[in-house]
Amino acid sequence: MTDLHLAVALDGLGWHPAAWRTSPLAAAAVFTGDYWTRLAREADAGLLDFVTFEDTFGPPSDDPARLTGRLDAVLVASRVAPVTRHVGLVPVATTTHTEPFHLSTALATLDYLSSGRAGWQARVSPDPAEAALLGRRTVGTGLEQAWDLLDEAADAVEVVRRLWDSWQDDAVIKDVATGRFIDRDRLHYIDFAGKWFGVKGPSIVPRPPQGQPVVAALAHTPAVYEFAARSADLVFVTPSSPADAASLVSTIRALGPLKIYADLVVFLDEHGATALRRRARLDELAGAPVPSDALVFAGTPEELADLLLAWHAAGLDGFRLRPGALPYDLEAITRLLVPTLQDRGVFRTAPHPGTLRERLGLPHAVNRYEGARLG
């Protein structure tokens, strides 16, 4: 059995907000291409399915104890694409303040640069402070506003997907005899008209190598489960136990055929006591235990492998691990956890040669405009 899927979520110098205070790296390392290249190559060498790159429009924190500032996730993924070979690259990009046409071209470009390894974690922003940064709209509060943001996000994903399909795979013909680089009959207006967007199309980028790069969402509530079922291929959830995982799987499977990954924050070491001490030290530096939406694990590779297999038996397709401190916990995942899982016969021992869609077992992306004509 080699069907366990494993990914990592990269953010700053680690998911613990005090991780920068014990990092051996220079303060500005997180703002360099070399830093992200090193992390992505480590994940690639560890045979992981994909890495996600966090992003937000959130303003710099007023808390001097927190790492503030970040690079653009889509651009970071594009930077590391040419220097990695197999690992999928899935940046976070916010729909709330971003034009879907721009998202479609950026992510299609990433799919070309990575030879079919691109994905996108779609995010909404209910934060008025983020809206104020851009100054183009206000964002209210309350349940109705939350539903509006999800409806807008669903429309944004739909526009992006239609734009990816607006070029048929064989639209570029390079016909020297007739002087035509493209066959205009194989390009298509998407003519999307909705509450939030009106987009004619077609895209300016040919259809991505995957046809449809993988779309993901992080979900904590039924409303977001429904959004994911409507718009995504993959959903990240945050169970607290095997029983909780089984309940989430049952709920989401009833909505649609999504791939389901569980998120965990991990502090990993050969000696469990060392992992526990590292987590406790970071909590001490932060002034209190840091709350987390996902379960926080601190222990040995063997203990984490036991947990993953117990949760996997509940019906999860895979796991996205959030390293508590970087690069330490990422290297512990690739160099300690992965061999442990390989020894148990549940994780691959060679790279998957195909696209990210193929690696995740997603169906071939059929072009919705195949056979239609421009107009």
Which whole-number Å values give the CA distances from 115 to 61, 83, 210, 296, 361, in the listed order?
A: 37, 12, 8, 34, 17
Q: What whole-number distance in Å separates Cα of residue 40 and Cα of residue 77?
A: 9
**DSSP secondary structure, 123-167, as one string:** E----HHHHHHHTS-----SHHHHHHHHHHHHHHHHHHHHHHHSB
Other Cβ atoms closer than 10 A to 269: 20
Residue with tokens 């709350």: 291
Q: What whole-number distance in Å separates Cα of residue 138 and Cα of residue 115?
A: 38
- What is the pLDDT, as a whole number, of residue 65? 63
* Residue 14: burial class (beta carbons within 10 Å; 0-12, 13-18, 19+): buried
Per residue of the chain (375 residues), what is the pLDDT tens digit?
568 999 999 999 999 999 999 999 987 899 999 999 999 999 999 999 999 999 998 766 666 667 778 999 999 999 999 999 999 999 999 999 999 999 999 999 999 999 999 999 999 998 888 888 888 787 767 667 888 999 999 999 999 999 999 999 998 878 788 888 888 889 999 999 999 999 999 999 999 999 999 999 999 999 999 999 999 999 999 999 999 999 999 999 999 999 999 999 999 999 999 999 999 999 999 999 989 999 999 999 999 999 999 999 999 999 999 999 999 999 999 999 999 999 999 999 999 889 999 999 999 999 999 866 544
The CATH fold assigned to 69-233+360-375 is TIM Barrel (3.20.20)
Residue range(s) in the chain whose domain bears CATH number 3.20.20.30:
69-233+360-375
Strands (E) located in the chain: 5-10, 50-53, 88-94, 119-123, 172-175, 180-182, 192-193, 198-199, 214-218, 234-237, 259-268, 295-299, 318-323
